[in-house]
Amino acid sequence: MVNFIWLFFIVAGFIVAAVKGNIELVTQAAFEGAKSGVTVCFGLISVMVFWLGMMRIAEDAGLLQKLAVLLRPFVRFLFPSVPKNHPAIGYIMSNMSANILGLGNAATPMGIKAMQSLQSLNPNKDMASPAMCTLLALNTASITLIPTTLIAIRMNYQSVNPTEIVGTTLVATFISTLAAIAVDKWYRRRNRPTFQSPPANPRGKG
């Protein structure tokens, strides 16, 4: 679906430029967009390196472990089907901790590991399990204390006060997290029979 959306934008841009008789504007906009993308990426590198370093310090100091301990009851509530000592629990808590600290890039590897671990518990390999859907919802709508990437982008574009979005981002992500949990719970109750394990073959058949 995303591919079709981008294709629509590209085709619409060409059509509008052709109608206005300024087809060269499309090429100009493409080069300017590419240049702007590279500039933004270079501006993000220093900030991301700084916060990844801070996260490593926090990890070595035990801060992430303490945060994981605080998250454990919350994780057990959201993922009741995952065994208590399963490796997926650790990956999920690491993913949530990184997202809360605004380190989306650092959270991605842990999220992938968590999904792989949850897939090993999935009785139906062709369908995402409820736990996998919950993790995806939380990873997308995670509450964020420090929106590192957005602050870096605002700094790159010479914002007067790049950190002024911290408060509103916290409120917005808190609401989005509550909404994600509510929708996830509603779908779990609605589709409970669908997610049940497939019945085993009767003895002597298959």
Residue 52: pLDDT band with limits 50, 70, 90: low
Q: How far apart are CA 93 and CA 113, in angstroms?
A: 11
- Nearest CA-CA partner of 167 in 148, 152, 147, 139: 147
Q: How far apart are CA 111 and CA 117, in angstroms?
A: 10
The angle at the Cα of 133, spanning 130 to 139, to the nearest 5 degrees, equals: 140
Residue 48: pLDDT band with limits 50, 70, 90: low
Q: Is the dihedral of CA 133, 136, 140, 145 positive or negative?
A: positive
Q: Residue range 173-188: average pLDDT? A: 89
Q: Give the ranges where the chain is alpha helix by DSSP (H).
A: 2-20, 24-61, 63-78, 87-100, 104-121, 130-140, 148-156, 166-190
The answer to whether 153 and 39 are in contact (CB under 8 A) is: no
Residue pLDDT, tens place only, 137-179? 888 888 888 787 777 778 777 888 888 888 898 899 899 999 9
DSSP 85-133: T-HHHHHHHHHHHHHHTT-HHHHHHHHHHHHHHHHHH-S-TTS--HHHH
Cα dist from 16 to 9, 12, 21, 33, whole Å? 10, 6, 9, 18
The answer to whether 156 and 164 are in contact (CB under 8 A) is: no
Note the pTM of the prediction, 2 decimals.
Answer: 0.63
Residue pLDDT, tens place only, 24-43? 777 777 777 777 777 777 76
